[in-house]
Amino acid sequence: MSTAVVIGGGPAGLIAAEVLARAGVAVTVYDRMPSVGRKFLLAGHGGLNITHSEARDRLLSRYGRSAEQLAPMLDVFGPQDLRDWCAGLGEPTFVGSSGRVFPQAFRATPLFRAWLARLTELGVRVETRRRWTGWAGSQSGLSFTGADGGTIEVAPDAAIFALGGASWPRLGSDGGWVGPFSDRGVAVTPLRPANVGVRVEWSDMLTDRFAGTPLKNVGLTVRGLRSQPVRGDAMVTRTGIEGGPVYASGAAIRDALDADGRCVLEVDLRPDHTVDQLAERLSRRRPKDSGSTWLRRSIGLDPVAIALLRESRAGALPSDPGAMAALVKAVPVAVTGTMSIERAISTAGGIEWSEVDESLMLRRLPGTFVAGEMLDWEAPTGGYLLQASFSTGVVAAHGALAWLRRDAVTRTG
């Protein structure tokens, strides 16, 4: 019987283990944490958004610069395949109002328990508290250190690495794999925070009153970027701003910061109205209305939105309806940086696509495959991260099976 090792017990690693075990391979999963799936379970604590229901082209666009590389993998194991897989575990899915897909129980725990039971039935061994520390001896040899400091070495017929990026390190993904892979000559784009809040030097006046208050239904654009605003709710924090529109703009924000150390976000407080429409409403100002009353009565701005306008102009609001309308449509917010990678939901960067073939096998290390966030791709929240993790895990497992079959023919030939 062929043997395979999966390093990393997140969704990419566990789905790879399942595919391999179903094909009759003896699989062992190694994870450095006391239990597997910790990030998966935490992500689904308030509702497991496992994939998205939108059309394929729209779905692919969410992966930005890596859409071309991920497209064939989503064809192998796409959103409907993932939904069918959930149903097979006794957790049918439903589509939420935003198009996001959730398991019937909503949270991750019932689905994950059923998944672990299935893996056990398939004979998958799970070894926890085993940290991968590098290669040992031959190219296929792998070294692991246990909680007691002892070292073991294994030499499987194939190996799949699914160690994640470097976000949420307390849950297992700390990016410690970058050094050993780089030492082997594998090109790795530096890991950087993605789906993370950004830093803004707010005044004490704004943070004292509005930290933790959402800006509802706004549009966000990176100044200088010709693109449609990303819409959604953004949260004002004591140190900056975060939320879906900020996360979805992450790559553009990083590009701007890399270019000259600064980035200006333009916040559209009324994305459903044009400048002219807003100017017309603002022209109806009553003589005794204060600035705040004027904005509230004429265009329905709430206190946090009005505070953001004042913040952008050092407290002095324009009185001209046209100038005010233009400001409402593009409130400038100066970003000084992103939050740390430890606070990120996911990471950008990873093993460069040129280092792997179409089956996600490392060209420099035949028989070694990679999946999940170890690869150089990123996506916003909304089910896209989990979908690509599952898809790449399935593709890597298929590649490992093809490798094992080829290797078996070579040995018997």
Identify any residues that bridge with 242 across adjacent strands, giving them in sequence order.
235
Mean local confidence (pLDDT), 317-328: 95
Residue 373 confidence (pLDDT): 97
Mean local confidence (pLDDT), 361-387: 96
* Identity of residue 259: A
Domains identified in the chain and CATH numbers:
3-194+345-412 (3.50.50.60), 198-338 (no CATH)
Question: Under the phi-then-psi rule, with left for phi > 0, alpha for psi from -120 to 50, and beta for the rest, what region is 412?
Answer: alpha
240-243/230-236 β-pairing: antiparallel
With H, G, I as helix, E, B as strand and everything else as coil, classify residue 71. helix
284-298 pLDDT tens trace: 898 888 989 999 999
Q: Is the pLDDT of residue 140 over 90?
A: no
Q: Strand 151-154's sheet: what is its strand order?
A: 130-135, 142-146, 151-154
Residue 225 confidence (pLDDT): 83
> Among all chains, which residue has been given the structure tokens 């975060």?
242
Q: Is the pLDDT of residue 413 over 60?
A: no
Residue 316 confidence (pLDDT): 86
In Å, how far from its chain's centre is CA 142?
28
Long-range contact pairs involving 302-305 (C-beta distance under 8 Å, separation at least 24): 302/216, 303/209, 303/210, 304/210, 304/213, 304/214, 304/215, 304/236, 305/215, 305/269
The helix, strand and coil proportions of the chain, stated in percent and rounded to the nearest 5, come to 40, 25, 35
Residue 407 confidence (pLDDT): 66
Query: What tokens were used for 126?
Result: 């799970």
Mean local confidence (pLDDT), 368-385: 96
For 287, residues 6+ apart whose C-beta sits below 8 A from its C-beta are none
pTM: 0.92
Average pLDDT, the chain: 94
Closest C-alpha among 263, 250, 216, 258 to residue 343? 250
